[in-house]
Amino acid sequence: MNLTSRSQLFDNWAKNYDNSILSDQDVFPFAGYDHILDQVVNIAKIRPNMRVLDIGIGTGNLADRFLDQGCDVWGVDFSVEMLAQTQVKLPQAHLIHADLLGDWTRQLRPPYERVVSAYVFHEFELETKIKLLQQIFSECLFESGFIVIADIAFPSVELRAAASQYWQLWDEDEFYWAADEAIVECEQAGIDSEYMQISSCGGIFTFAKRKAG
């Protein structure tokens, strides 16, 4: 992944990001977008004043939902322009400019009770996804906390392969989830996981650190 070109892409997209999503909620890759974000909040089982970290906060569409519920929200993103949009929309959020493939956790103030993310992890290969999850558990979360991730995803490798044949906007440089392979890799890494398919191309993972014994 060329991080410079990817960050530039999102910088250029920042001002029109929300409008482009609103116009694409019936098709790949954002089918069911608003409903999926609403479900992240429901699954997270939050309460007022809960500390929530949003990884890849973008323009703040997911973070806004947690702020509405009275949470103390922190957000990380590698796009300066995305963060600028969020600063205007959500001045009460704590924003950090950092690359998830770098030493990003040093700027945080953990621990958090929930870590959430929407439409970010498909930028990374499965091995990197797992390493990021492990890092979040070891450096960001309370022992009782868990992770909720919404993303472009499919129930199986087979269905992901089939989907790639009929969606014109399919990006071969991105790494969309297949739940069956992800759950196996998480199991081997000591992470308990659950998956829920929400739309034709979007789903939600819940990750928890396996209890000893």
pLDDT band at residue 167 using 50, 70 and 90 as cut-offs: confident
**Domains contained in the chain, number:** 1
Residue 23 has pLDDT above 80, yes or no: no
What range defines the domain where residue 45 resides? Answer: 3-209
Q: Cβ-count burial of 103 within 10 angstroms (0-12 exposed, 13-18 middle, 19+ buried)? A: exposed
Q: What pLDDT, on the 0 to 100 scale, is given for residue 15?
A: 81
Read off the CATH number of the domain in which 200 is found. Answer: 3.40.50.150
For the chain, what is the mean pLDDT?
93
Decide which of 16 and 75 is more confident.
75
Quote the CA–CA distance of 160 and 173 in Å, as a whole number: 14
Q: Are 177 and 205 in contact (CB under 8 A)?
A: yes
Q: What pLDDT, on the 0 to 100 scale, is given for residue 4?
A: 55
Mean pLDDT value of segment 30-45: 97
Q: What pLDDT, on the 0 to 100 scale, is given for residue 134?
A: 97
